Amino acid sequence: MSATVDILNPSKPKRVAIIASNPAISKQTGWPIGFWWSELTHPYWEFVEHGYLVDVYSPDGGALQADTWSDPRDESKYSAHDLISLGFINSPEHSKLVESTAPIGQLNLAAYDALLFVGGQAPMYTFYEDKRIHELASTCYQSGKVTAVLCHATCILLKVKVDGKLLVTGKTWTGFANSEERYADEFVGKRIQPFWIEDEAKKFAGTNFIVASRFKAHAVRDGHLITGQQQYSGAAVARLVIESLGV
């Protein structure tokens, strides 16, 4: 499902496909996990404000489930400040975007100017080993299209290859930081993720993984690869995508 038209060029609006995780169960905590609301809704807002058409996909299609703490209505109040997500959730037109997603097998890459892979807790399980996701990201990048990856979805960049080498070879990029993982683990009193992206990224020679302050917006553009550190970086990532596309 798409929204709005390009106010600058209504005859040929830019199009972005957002790829979010299907629901899963954490093998670490036993919690139901999925995507993170703000990582989908904040980029969505930036894109449609620029007249883009936006579609939402998932690896297997169907209804998606967000991480509980990312829901502004959750009793934890962890994301109670997130009015953009609250508005999205309470809009029947917009909520349909995550209630019935198309599978990535139906994604026609030629129809899009950019892809955005969004995070949450589930991608560490659902994206990390999924060769369909890796192939989609690799094909997008090799085709010269903007390839954006946010938060824990950046785990795919530990796997995605181009011409036999990691896509991030020779690239500067970011992802969820050790300091953020440590804070989250201490907050809940247990280990949440099966591994830490920063630890794994720094094992590779020839790539430059960088992080900024804990839970502060941080996005990096290196050519047509754009990465965001965590859930507060969604809008920053979207702005770099818009900048890359020249509109």
Residue 88 CB partners (closer than 8 Å, separation 6+) = 37, 41, 44, 45, 94, 95
Nearest to 118 by CA among 27, 54, 171, 169: 54
CB 115 within 8 Å of CB 16: yes
User: What pLDDT score was predicted for residue 12?
Assistant: 84
pLDDT in tens, 161-185: 999 999 999 999 999 999 999 999 9
Largest CA distance in the chain: 53
pLDDT in tens, 14-41: 999 999 999 999 999 999 999 999 999 9
User: How many CA atoms lie within 13 Å of 81's alpha carbon, on the beta-carbon side?
Assistant: 2
Distance from C-alpha of 64 to C-alpha of 60, rounded to nearest angstrom: 10
In the block, tokens 């009793």 appear at 75
33 is written with which tokens? 């996990």
Query: How large is the average pLDDT for residues 212-229?
Result: 97
pLDDT in tens, 200-220: 999 999 999 999 999 999 999
- Strand blocks (E) in 50-169: 53-58, 102-103, 114-117, 146-150, 161-162, 165-166
What's the burial of 168, exposed, middle or buried (CB within 10 Å: 0-12/13-18/19+)? Answer: buried
74 is written with which tokens? 């959750």
Asked if the model's pLDDT at residue 9 lies above 80, the reply is no
In the block, tokens 């824990």 appear at 152
Q: Record the pTM.
A: 0.94
Share of the chain above pLDDT 90, in %: 94
CB 58 within 8 Å of CB 20: yes
User: How many CA atoms lie within 13 Å of 33's alpha carbon, on the beta-carbon side?
Assistant: 21
Asked if the model's pLDDT at residue 79 lies above 60, the reply is yes
User: What pLDDT score was predicted for residue 10?
Assistant: 60
User: What pLDDT score was predicted for residue 165?
Assistant: 96
What distances in angstroms separate CA 181 from CA 73, 162, 191, 214, 244, one per listed residue?
A: 24, 29, 9, 10, 30
φ and ψ at residue 237, rounded to 5 degrees: -65, -45
Residue 213 CB partners (closer than 8 Å, separation 6+) = none
Region 15-245: CATH code: 3.40.50.880
Residue 224: band (very low, low, confident or very high) from pLDDT cuts 50, 70, 90? very high
Asked if the model's pLDDT at residue 6 lies above 60, the reply is no
pLDDT in tens, 133-142: 999 999 999 9
Asked if the model's pLDDT at residue 5 lies above 60, the reply is no
Asked if the model's pLDDT at residue 3 lies above 90, the reply is no
Query: How large is the average pLDDT for residues 232-236?
Result: 98
